[in-house]
Amino acid sequence: MNRTLVPLALVPVILFAAGCGSVTQTATPSPADTVTTAPADPPSTPPPTPSASSVSSVPSATPAALLPPTSTKEVEVDRAVSTQPIVTGARFAEHQGFDRVVIDLKGELPGYRARWVPELVQDGSGDRVDVKGGAYLQLTITPAVAHTEAGQSTWKGGPIFQAQLGNVQNVVKVGDFEGVVSVGVVLDRKAPFRVLEQKSPNRLVVDISH
d(CA 160, CA 173): 6
Determine the 3-state secondary structure of 185 from DSSP.
strand
- Bridge-based pairing of strands 75-79 and 23-27 is parallel
Tens place of pLDDT for every residue, the chain, 210 residues?
444 434 433 333 333 333 433 444 444 344 333 333 345 655 544 444 333 322 323 333 333 478 999 999 999 999 999 999 999 999 999 999 999 999 999 999 999 999 999 999 998 888 999 999 999 999 999 999 999 999 999 999 999 999 999 999 999 999 999 999 999 999 999 999 999 999 999 999 999 999
Q: b/e map of 69-93 (b: 16 or more CB within 10 Å)?
A: beeeebbbbebebeeebbbbbbbbb
Determine the 3-state secondary structure of 146 from DSSP.
coil
DSSP secondary-structure letter at 24?
E
What's the burial of 42, exposed, middle or buried (CB within 10 Å: 0-12/13-18/19+)? Answer: middle
pTM over 0.75: no
* CATH 2.60.40.3500 is right for the domain spanning 8-209: yes
CA nearest to 99, candidates 68, 62, 74, 126: 68
